Structure 1
Amino acid sequence: MRQRGFTLVELVVAIAVLGLIMFAVLPSVGTWLDNTRVRNVAASLQNGLQLARGEAVRRNQSVSFWLVSLNDPSTLSNDCALSNTSASWVVSVNSPVGHCADQPSTVSSPMIVTGRAVGDAGGRVSVKAVQTDGTTAGTAVTFNGFGRIDATTNTPIAKIDVTGTGATTNYRALRIAITAAGQVQMCDPDPSVAAGDPRKCP
């Protein structure tokens, strides 16, 4: 019985077609991966804010969510500083500056609850947190025992915009909006989102 395999011409044509398909698909895959990173970072920030609010209600005391920058974005360390452009965060009663790597405690300042380093995704994601005026940098928001914003402690973050870092890529940006009542909502800041769409930012 005669066996037949691929000829060299057929193999070259198959590789060329596969190469063209990969060339066409790779930019879309790259954008999809970047948008997944944006989504993951936004979800992490939303979770941190909700955790801070829940902990404030549980303890019946003010608890804050802090955005912190790290020398190594994959590890919470004591070289941390407050930053409105970082996706790393710490939930604590007092400012965690210089103490981000401390163990959780209810008695030792800064009384850390938990924290999260942004990790490798931070290099491909842009974060900007601002106060209610829409321009002044915001680095923290404090929730009181009722779960509302405690404006007497500091001027709080009102929104955090999260997008990609590429100048020419069309990212699906996300926003974390925080109301005075303490509600934390992830929404789509794109003005083309139709009114009434639950994804639309208020």
Structure 2
Amino acid sequence: MAVTMRQRGFTLVELIVTIAVLALILFAVMPSIGTWLENTRIRNVADSLQNGLQVARGEAVRRNQNVSLWLVSLNDPAVLSDDCSLSGASGAWIVSVNSPIGHCSDAPSTTSSPMIVTGRPAGDSGGRVTVAAVQAIDGSTEGTTVTFNGFGRIANSDAIGQIDVTGSSTGTRALRIVVSPSGSVRMCEPAIVDSTAKDPRKC
């Protein structure tokens, strides 16, 4: 008695239909994926800047001396190099006692100027978001540095008051870092409108 074996697998028609359905699903979710990726870049840059400010303040209190965070532009956003210059439109930063212009690749030191504590390049994500730092004194002039004194308070008159980090696409979530005269640093969302002021994300 002959036994017949059934072959298992996909027919060509089933395979084509499956690919078509997957393509439609991918096409439908692509805008959401793009927005999510850009929001992630914004968050990464904002987190980095907030961390740098907190490091500068903490180091100033620990050393009991003025320590600054400097926003620097780099030819290669992924590498801290000596071609750096000050820029309020950059997500790269250096924490040091003196200005790091031309010395951004120096090793950390407590004796050799500019006495760098640490630094971080903007990286690939930094080139895909917009950073705008302004001075607290008027809210419009470009700001490039914040200096904290030994009490953790702002010590320079031209200090950065806020840094906005935004994306290039509609629907992305912009973030803002606010530095108060007392030296406290917080992140908020400019788009949050809460008349009762109970939303902690509100600027």
5 Å-filtered alignment, 1:35-46, equals 35-46=39-50
Separation (CA, whole Å) in 2 of partners of 1:91 and 1:121? 20
Q: Equivalent of 1:92, from 89, 92, 96? A: 96
Unaligned runs of 5+ in 2: none
Task: Provide the residue aligned with 1:148 in structure 2.
Answer: 153
Task: Provide the residue aligned with 2:164 in structure 1.
Answer: 161
Task: Provide the residue aligned with 2:75 in structure 1.
Answer: 71
5 Å-filtered alignment, 1:19-168, equals 19-132=23-136, 133-151=138-156, 154-166=157-169
Moved more, 3-12 or 33-42: 3-12
Q: Report the CA distance between 1:181 and its aligned residue.
A: 0.4
Amino acid at match of 1:196: K
Separation (CA, whole Å) in 2 of partners of 1:139 and 1:12? 56
Cα displacement string for residues 138-177 of structure 1 (whole angstroms, at most 9, x for unaligned residues): 00000000000003xx4100000001123xx211010000
Q: Report the CA distance between 1:193 and its aligned residue.
A: 4.5
TM-score normalised by structure 2 residue count: 0.94
Cα displacement string for residues 67-107 of structure 1 (whole angstroms, at most 9, x for unaligned residues): 00000111000000000000000000010000011111111
Task: Provide the residue aligned with 1:197 in structure 2.
Answer: 199
Q: Runs in 1 of length 4+ with deviation above 6 angstroms?
A: none
Task: Provide the residue aligned with 1:187 in structure 2.
Answer: 188
Cα displacement string for residues 96-130 of structure 1 (whole angstroms, at most 9, x for unaligned residues): 00001111111111111010001101121110000
Q: Report the CA distance between 1:190 and its aligned residue.
A: 0.9
Q: CA RMSD in A?
A: 1.1
Question: How many matched pairs?
Answer: 197
- Percent of aligned pairs with the same residue? 70
Question: Does the CA-based 8 Å contact 2:80-2:105 persist in structure 1?
Answer: yes
Moved more, 8-17 or 55-64: 8-17
Unaligned runs of 5+ in 1: none
Amino acid at match of 1:149: I
TM-score normalised by structure 1 residue count: 0.95
Separation (CA, whole Å) in 2 of partners of 1:179 and 1:120? 29
In structure 2, the residue corresponding to 1:22 is in which secondary structure? helix
Largest Rg, 1 or 2: 2
Amino acid at match of 2:11: T
In structure 2, the residue corresponding to 1:42 is in which secondary structure? helix
